[in-house]
Amino acid sequence: MKKKYVLFSILICSILLLSSSSFAQQRQAAPIKLEKLSDNLYQILGGRGANGGFYIGDNGVLVIDTKQTKESVDLTLEEIQKITDKPIKYIVNTHSDGDHVTGNQFFPKTVTIVAQKNCRKEFFHPRSNGEPSAWEKPELAPFLPSITFSDKLDIYLGSKKIELYYFGVGHTTGDIVVYFPEEKTAFIGDQIFMGRPQLIHSYKGGNSFAHVKTLTKMLDTLEAEKFCIGHSDPIDRTTVKHHIEEMTQLQEKIKTQIDQGKNLEEIQKAFEANHLRLVESIFNEIKNDKM
């Protein structure tokens, strides 16, 4: 009887341990990992939040996007310090989404934060569920972008030049391209998603038709060969072109169905669940003549 009881207890304990450890694994973010693109340029992967990057100039470091939690930022800083002891001088935010900018507040206050002017405005935009933005809190003001620009800004770290470009509205109203000419590499944030439909934040003023024009302008302007994106591995020019074509085809398909007199519900029936949001954005853009 006693033996049976012990065995039963061991069984229960094992089940509890197993389930709690798998629960912990689900909650734990992947470790921060650096991916070397050149002697000076790295991608920052893992952690909580989007992929970012950093660039080592002659006299300092520029970081692209800042993840979402203090833990992820601390681990990022640790990893950067393993590669260089130069100080972090700049953060560049590619756009205003939380998974790219929340970590700003966990960097030292001495770092200068740079973004496109619409992006800074969007920091204060109410969330998609209507809640006020956390950036309204006065104590976060030092971690808002303090330098903004309209179309282009060059940042020099000694002899090294980093080019920031704004090609127009798309995923949001303030997405930029951080371009490294020597590496022919562009960090474009969430302007392209792979393996899932493109996110267009209509509630912030994002627009899929403008998105197509913006990406086309990027390809026409830059000789970039590699594009680092927020949520997948880097892509090449052909993949960017393919993304533009796919978006255009989707827009045409929806337009044809609107011309046939179909309403949103009828059009959405032909799409899988993960496409419904994008289809709705495109539908509303066409209906409201925002093409």
Rounded CA gap, 150 and 120, in Å? Answer: 11
**Least Cβ distance, residue 193 to Zn ion (angstroms):** 9
Look at residue 201 and give its three-state secondary structure.
Answer: coil
Angle between helices 208-221 and 237-259 in degrees, nearest 10 = 150
Residue 36, phi then psi, degrees to nearest 5: -75, 125
Least spacing, CB of residue 200 vs Zn ion, in Å: 13
Closer Cβ to Zn ion, 57 or 230, answer by number: 230
In angstroms, give the least distance from the CB of 66 to Zn ion: 12
Minimum CB distance to Zn ion smaller for 135 or for 283: 135
Residue with Cβ nearer Zn ion (113 or 286): 113
**Is the CB of 145 or the CB of 230 nearer to Zn ion?**
230
Q: In angstroms, give the least distance from the CB of 19 to Zn ion.
A: 31
CB of 254 to Zn ion, least distance (A): 24
Give contact residues for Zn ion (rule: CB under 5 A).
50, 97, 99, 190, 230
Task: Judge whether 231 and 49 are in contact, CB under 8 Å.
Answer: no
Give whichever of 96 and 185 is closer to Zn ion, judged by the CB atom: 96
Q: What is the CB-side half-sphere exposure of residue 123 using CA atoms within 13 A?
A: 27
CB-count exposure of residue 98 (10 Å: 0-12, 13-18, 19+): middle
3-class SS shares of the chain: helix, strand, coil, % to 5 = 45, 20, 35
